[in-house]
Amino acid sequence: MTIYMGAPDSSGRFGEFGGRFVPEALIPACLELEAAFKDAWADTAFHEEFEETLREFGGRPTPITYCPRLSAQLGIEIYLKREDLAHTGSHKINNVVGQALLTKRMGKPRMIAETGAGQHGVASATAAARLGLECTVYMGEIDTQRQALNVFRMELLGATVVPVTSGSRTLKDAVNEAMREWVTCVEDTHYCLGSVMGPHPFPWMVREFQSILGREAAEQCQTLGVGTPDFVVACVGGGSNAAGIFSGFANSTAKLIGVEAAGGSAIGFGMPGVLHGMRSMLIQDEVGQIAEAHSISAGLDYPGIGPEHAYLAATQRAEYYAAGDSEVLDALQLLSRMEGIIPALETAHAVAWVVREAGGLIPKGSKVLINLSGRGDKDVAQVRDILRGEA
């Protein structure tokens, strides 16, 4: 039997996806990071520090919440893995704590990060503050305007935010600019990439840091008497929260479902290509120029997907579907009203798929675990404007 979600091969590939497609100037840093991560991940003391930091500072473990009212309405059993209750309001804290600890271990005093809506930027600034690291965050100029409050949060946490004015001035270009800047400061700076993407070892390393939530969820499902869920569902932009929860169930009987934004569906509409250091599925035009993604949720506004997801899709171990903006808005309101939990717009994609497919692809009576990857506080102003017809 194939074992899923193990280590990639020596070239950093999951099947035909992954690899290390970056300029030579960055290769030594990727090699250094790979060696440092392997060393740290084999070190019990590092694991202890990682887990302790997430326990005492990051709010782990997060609970699993059963949804009685929504379950009754949809005729299925719905459980939520509550990453919205982690520090900074999403699963992002798991990855940044891991990378910030690794930055210190490599003896680097500084990290840089990219951010779309600002969640990864805020999390990076948070971890940097906790561990005494300098932090600079690259954020598309359009996103700095859309998410002005998150810019201030990062600044409050002591980080410097650099608006990116090139290209589409959103997440894709924030990654480009962070990579360009990394070339200039690679000797004393770690690039704290925010998802399971980029050149090897990032997709693997970020998944390993996020796997803490999948392991927790699998144990909690046993403790709560749920057993193995029939479906494990997560939203996917780059795919870090999905990789985290999938890793806890990859070698079980659970069906793994990733839900992309309809306007950023790399598995649905993409083709294999090379961007941001990886070979993966990417939305491109007919000559290989990368398209701009469009979604109501800035966090899913990315034309690619992590290479391991491309592999899980190719091998059919996981299935990927898309949710559109309007069903996502409906799902956000439904969960808020029926269960008292306002999910992030990104997360609401996973909820929307479950609502749509209950009794369809999801047979009645199924046990469904949704990774509730983030809380919706950051989105309430945007949602208010849309619902009032002002956006």
Partner 1 sequence: MTTLDTQLRAVRDSGRKVLVPYFVAGLDDEWLDCVRAAAFAGADAIEIGVPFSDPIMDGIVIQEASLLALARGTTLTSVLEQLATLDIDVPLIVMTYFNIFHHHGLERAAADLAKAGVKGSIVPDLSLEEVGTWREVGNANDIASILMVAPSSPPARVGQLARQTQGFAYAAARMAVTGVASDSGRGEGVVQGIRAESDVPVYVGIGIATPEQAAAACQYADGAIVGSALVQLLLDGKGPKGVEEFISAMRAALDNVA
- 30, 87, 91, 309: the catalytic one is 91
21: contact with partner 1 by CB under 8 A: yes
Handedness of CA 188, 194, 196, 198 (dihedral sign): negative
- 30, 67, 192, 235: the catalytic one is 67
Closer residue to partner 1 in complex, CB, 28/75 = 28
**Stretch in the footprint of partner 1 (CB under 8 A) among 19-27, 130-138, 308-316, 361-369:** 19-27
Paired with 235 in beta bridges are 259
284: contact with partner 1 by CB under 8 A: yes
Closer residue to partner 1 in complex, CB, 74/283 = 283
Element (H, E) at 166: none
Q: Is 235 a catalytic residue?
A: no
Q: Is 67 a catalytic residue?
A: yes
7: contact with partner 1 by CB under 8 A: no
Query: Which tokens go with 368?
Result: 């469904």
2: contact with partner 1 by CB under 8 A: no
Q: How many residues bind partner 1 (CB under 8 A)?
A: 38
SS3 288: coil
Closer residue to partner 1 in complex, CB, 148/271 = 271
Task: Indicate which single residue of 1, 2, 3, 24 sits in contact with partner 1 (rule: CB under 8 A).
Answer: 24
28: contact with partner 1 by CB under 8 A: yes
Residue found by looking up tokens 């035009």 in the block: 285
195: contact with partner 1 by CB under 8 A: no
Q: Which amino acid is at 90?
A: S
Element (H, E) at 371: strand 367-372
390: contact with partner 1 by CB under 8 A: no
35: contact with partner 1 by CB under 8 A: no
Buried b (16+ CB within 10 A) or exposed e, 180-200: ebbeeebeebbbbbbbbbbbb
Task: Indicate which single residue of 36, 111, 186, 323 sits in contact with partner 1 (rule: CB under 8 A).
Answer: 186
290: contact with partner 1 by CB under 8 A: yes
106: contact with partner 1 by CB under 8 A: no
Q: What is the nearest approach in angstroms of partner 1 to the Cβ of residue 181?
A: 9
SS3 249: coil
Task: Indicate which single residue of 59, 163, 167, 268 sits in contact with partner 1 (rule: CB under 8 A).
Answer: 167
Closer residue to partner 1 in complex, CB, 230/292 = 292
Buried b (16+ CB within 10 A) or exposed e, 204-213: bbbbbbbbbb
Report which of 362, 271, 305, 350 is spatially closest to residue 75, judged by C-alpha positions. 362
142: contact with partner 1 by CB under 8 A: no
314: contact with partner 1 by CB under 8 A: no
Task: Indicate which single residue of 85, 129, 131, 183 sits in contact with partner 1 (rule: CB under 8 A).
Answer: 183
> Measured between alpha carbons, how far is 92 from 344 in angstroms, rounded to an integer?
13
Handedness of CA 29, 31, 32, 36 (dihedral sign): positive
Task: Indicate which single residue of 5, 8, 22, 325 sits in contact with partner 1 (rule: CB under 8 A).
Answer: 22
Report which of 154, 84, 149, 69 is spatially closest to residue 376, judged by C-alpha positions. 84
Q: Within 10 A of 16 (CB to CB), how many other CB atoms are there?
A: 13
Closer residue to partner 1 in complex, CB, 21/46 = 21
273: contact with partner 1 by CB under 8 A: yes
Q: What is the nearest approach in angstroms of partner 1 to the Cβ of residue 29?
A: 7
> Measured between alpha carbons, how far is 338 from 344 in angstroms, rounded to an integer?
16
Backbone angles phi, psi at 139, to 5 degrees: -140, 130
Task: Indicate which single residue of 86, 100, 157, 179 sits in contact with partner 1 (rule: CB under 8 A).
Answer: 179
Q: What is the nearest approach in angstroms of partner 1 to the Cβ of residue 246?
A: 27
Strands 77-82, 110-115: pairing kind = unpaired
Q: What is the nearest approach in angstroms of partner 1 to the Cβ of residue 373?
A: 26
Q: Within 10 A of 48 (CB to CB), how many other CB atoms are there?
A: 10
Cβ atoms of residues 79 and 231 within 8 Å = no
Query: Which tokens go with 267?
Result: 């598995």
Cβ atoms of residues 321 and 353 within 8 Å = yes
25: contact with partner 1 by CB under 8 A: yes
User: Which residue ranges make up the site for partner 1 (CB under 8 A)?
Assistant: 11, 19-29, 166-167, 172-173, 176, 179-180, 183-187, 271-277, 279, 282, 284, 287-290
* Residues known to be catalytic: 67, 91
